[in-house]
Amino acid sequence: MSIDITIKIGGEAGQGIQTVGQLLALTCREAGLYVFGINDFESRIRGGHSFFQLRISDQQVRAPHHVVNLLVALDERTVDLHRRQVSPDGMIIVNKKELCDSPNMLAISFDDLAAQAGDPITANTVAAGCVLAILHAPFDLFHQVLTNLFSGKKQSSLDVNLKAGRLGYDAAGDRRCSAALPWSAALQKKPLIEGSQAIAYGALAGDCRFAAFYPMSPATGIMIHLAACQNDFPLIVEQAEDEIAAANMIIGASFAGVRSMTATSGGGFCLMTEAIGLAGITETPCVFINAQRPGPATGLATRTAQADLHMVIRAGQDDFPRFVFAPGSPEQAYAVTSQALSLAEKYQVPAIVLVDQFFNDSLYTLEKAFLIPNTIERFVLDHASINNPAEYKRYVFTDSGISPRALPCQGTALVKYSGNEHLENGHTSEAPEIRTGMVDKRARKLIGMRSEMQGPEPYYADAETLLLCWGSTHGVVREAVKMLRQDGINVGSLHFCDLWPFPEEKVAPLLSGEKRLIVVEQNSTAQFAQLLRQQTGISVHGAVLKYNGRPLYPYEIVNALKEKEYSHA
Amino acid sequence: MSIDITIKIGGEAGQGIQTVGQLLALTCREAGLYVFGINDFESRIRGGHSFFQLRISDQQVRAPHHVVNLLVALDERTVDLHRRQVSPDGMIIVNKKELCDSPNMLAISFDDLAAQAGDPITANTVAAGCVLAILHAPFDLFHQVLTNLFSGKKQSSLDVNLKAGRLGYDAAGDRRCSAALPWSAALQKKPLIEGSQAIAYGALAGDCRFAAFYPMSPATGIMIHLAACQNDFPLIVEQAEDEIAAANMIIGASFAGVRSMTATSGGGFCLMTEAIGLAGITETPCVFINAQRPGPATGLATRTAQADLHMVIRAGQDDFPRFVFAPGSPEQAYAVTSQALSLAEKYQVPAIVLVDQFFNDSLYTLEKAFLIPNTIERFVLDHASINNPAEYKRYVFTDSGISPRALPCQGTALVKYSGNEHLENGHTSEAPEIRTGMVDKRARKLIGMRSEMQGPEPYYADAETLLLCWGSTHGVVREAVKMLRQDGINVGSLHFCDLWPFPEEKVAPLLSGEKRLIVVEQNSTAQFAQLLRQQTGISVHGAVLKYNGRPLYPYEIVNALKEKEYSHA
Amino acid sequence: MPDIKDYESLVEIKWCPGCGNFSILAAMKKALCNLGLAPHEVLIISGIGQAAKTPHYLACNLFHGLHGRALPIATGAKIANHNLTIIVNSGDGDCYGEGGNHFINAIRRNIDLTLLVHNNKVYGLTKGQASPTSDLNMVTRAQPHGVMLEPFNPLAVALALGCGFVARGYAGKPDHLASLIEHGVRHRGFSLIDILQPCVSFNHINTYPWYNERVYELERSGHDPSDFNAAWEQARKWGERIPIGLFYREDKPTLTDRLHALRHGPLVDQQYVPERLASLFSSL
Amino acid sequence: MPDIKDYESLVEIKWCPGCGNFSILAAMKKALCNLGLAPHEVLIISGIGQAAKTPHYLACNLFHGLHGRALPIATGAKIANHNLTIIVNSGDGDCYGEGGNHFINAIRRNIDLTLLVHNNKVYGLTKGQASPTSDLNMVTRAQPHGVMLEPFNPLAVALALGCGFVARGYAGKPDHLASLIEHGVRHRGFSLIDILQPCVSFNHINTYPWYNERVYELERSGHDPSDFNAAWEQARKWGERIPIGLFYREDKPTLTDRLHALRHGPLVDQQYVPERLASLFSSL
Ligand SMILES: Cc1ncc(C[n+]2csc(CCOP(=O)(O)OP(=O)(O)O)c2C)c(N)n1
Ligand SMILES: Cc1ncc(C[n+]2csc(CCOP(=O)(O)OP(=O)(O)O)c2C)c(N)n1
Ligand code: SF4
Ligand code: SF4
Ligand SMILES: [Mg+2]
Ligand SMILES: [Mg+2]
A4-30 pLDDT, tens digit per residue, is 999 999 999 999 999 999 999 999 999
Q: How far apart are the first and last CA of chain B?
A: 33
Subunits with at least 3 CB pairs below 8 A relative to chain B? A, C, D
Q: Which atom of ligand 1 is nearest to the CA of C199?
A: 20
Residue-wise pLDDT for A478-491, tens only, equals 999 999 999 999 99
In angstroms, the CA D49 to CA D97 distance is 12
Beta strands across the sheet bearing B34-40: B105-107, B86-94, B68-73, B4-13, B47-57, B34-40, B363-365, B192-194
Q: Is the CB of D120 under 6 A from ligand 2?
A: yes
Q: Give the pLDDT score at B513.
A: 85
d(CA A422, CA A393): 11
Please check whether residue C68 is in contact with residue A240, taking contact to mean a CB–CB distance below 8 angstroms: no
User: Three-class SS string for A52-118?
Assistant: EEEEEECCCCCCCCCCEEEEEECCHHHHHHHHHHEEEEEEEEECCHHHCCCCCEEECCHHHHHHHHC
Average pLDDT of every residue of chain C = 98
Contact D103, C160 (CB under 8 A): no
| Residue C58 φ/ψ, nearest 5 degrees | -145, 160
Q: Answer whether A336's CB lies under 8 Å from A366's CB.
A: no
pLDDT tens-digit readout, A21-74: 999 999 999 999 999 999 999 999 999 999 999 999 999 999 999 999 999 999
Residue of C nearest to B245 (CA): C98
Alpha carbon of C132 to ligand 3 centroid (Å): 17
Please tell me the residue having the least CA distance from ligand 3 atom 2. C199
Chain A interface disruption, residue of B276, B278, B430, most A CBs within 10 A: B430
Give distance in angstroms: CA of A45 to centre of ligand 4.
Answer: 7
CATH match of B4-171 with 3.40.920.10: yes
In this structure, the residues whose C-beta lies within 6 A of any atom of ligand 3 are B 45; C 15-16, 19, 21, 50, 120, 124, 199-202
B151-191 tens-digit pLDDT: 999 999 999 999 999 999 999 999 998 777 888 888 889 99
Q: pLDDT band for A568, please (50, 70, 90 cuts).
A: low
Q: Which residues of B touch C140 (CB under 8 A)?
A: none
pLDDT tens track, chain D, 284 positions? 899 999 999 999 999 999 999 999 999 999 999 999 999 999 999 999 999 999 999 999 999 999 999 999 999 999 999 999 999 999 999 999 999 999 999 999 999 999 999 999 999 999 999 999 999 999 999 999 999 999 999 999 999 999 999 999 999 999 999 999 999 999 999 999 999 999 999 999 999 999 999 999 999 999 999 999 999 999 999 999 999 999 999 999 999 999 999 999 999 999 999 999 999 999 89
Q: Using an 8 Å CB-CB cutoff, list chain B residues near D80.
A: 209-210, 252-258, 260
Q: pLDDT band for position A138 (50/70/90)?
A: very high
Identity of residue A167: L
CATH number of A457-563: 3.40.50.920
Residue of chain B minimizing CA distance to A292: B317
pLDDT at B568: 53
Report the C-alpha gap between A274 and A252 in whole angstroms.
14
Indicate whether A522 pLDDT > 90: yes
CB contact under 8 A, B433 and A300: no
B42 Cβ contact list (under 8 Å, min separation 6) = A430, B13, B48, B49, B50, B302, C14
Distance CA A330, CA A198 (A): 5
pLDDT of residue D98: 98
Q: Distance, in angstroms, between A490 CA and closest chain D CA?
A: 45
Its pTM stands at 0.98
Q: Do A315 and B270 touch (CB under 8 A)?
A: yes
Question: Which superfamily, per CATH, for A193-365?
Answer: Thiamin diphosphate (ThDP)-binding fold, Pyr/PP domains (3.40.50.970)
Give the number of the atom of ligand 4 that is nearest the alpha carbon of residue D15: 5
Q: Is C173 on the interface with A (CB under 8 A)?
A: no
Q: CB distance from A549 to chain B under 8 Å?
A: yes
Q: Minimal CA–CA distance to D243: which of D264, D216, D225? A: D216
**Which residues of chain B have a CB within 8 Å of the CB of A436?**
547-548
Instruction: Inform me whether the C-beta atom of residue C107 falls under 8 Å from chain A C-beta atoms.
Output: no
Report the separation in Å between the CA atom of D254 and the middle of ligand 1, taken as the mean of its atom positions: 27
Summarize pLDDT for C177-214 with one digit per residue, the tens: 999 999 999 999 999 999 999 999 999 999 999 999 99
* Structure confidence at residue A2 (pLDDT): 78
**Closest CA to ligand 4's atom 5:** D15
**3-class DSSP state of C194:** strand
In this predicted structure, what is the pLDDT of residue B182? 82
Q: Which of C14, C66, C143 sits opposite B239 (nearest CB)?
A: C143
Q: How far apart are CA D112 and CA D107, in angstroms?
A: 9
**CA distance linking residue D276 with residue D273, whole number of Å:** 6
State residue A184's pLDDT score: 87
| CA-C18 nearest atom, ligand 3 | 7
Taking CB atoms and an 8 Å limit, are B46 and C201 in contact across chains?
yes
**CATH number for domain C4-259, candidates 3.40.50.970, 3.40.50.510, 3.40.718.10, 3.90.800.10:** 3.40.50.970
Largest CA distance in chain C: 71
Find the distance separating the first CA and the last CA of chain D, reported in whole Å: 55
Mean pLDDT taken over chain A: 96
Instruction: Tell me how far CA of residue C195 lies from CA of B198, B225, C192, in angstroms.
Output: 40, 32, 9
pLDDT band of residue A180 (cuts 50, 70, 90) is: confident
Q: Which of A134, A58, A139 is nearest to A89 (CA)?
A: A134
Q: With beta carbons under 8 A apart, name residues in chain A contacting C73.
A: 248-249, 251-252, 255
Interatomic CA distance for residues C67 and C62, integer angstroms: 15
Domain definitions of chain C by residue range:
4-259
Domain spans, chain B: 4-171, 193-365, 383-452, 457-563
Q: What is the ipTM metric for this complex?
A: 0.98
The amino acid at residue B208 is C
Q: Which residues of chain C does A236 touch, with a Cβ-Cβ cutoff of 8 Å? A: 79, 259, 261-262, 267
Q: What's the average pLDDT block by block, 10 residues per block, for chain B (569 residues)?
A: 90 95 96 97 96 96 97 96 95 93 94 96 96 95 96 94 97 86 86 98 98 98 98 98 98 98 98 98 98 98 98 98 98 98 98 98 97 98 96 98 98 98 98 98 98 98 97 98 97 98 96 94 98 97 97 97 74
Q: Are A240 and B230 in contact (CB under 8 A)?
A: no
Ligand 1 pocket, residue B298 CB under 6 Å: yes
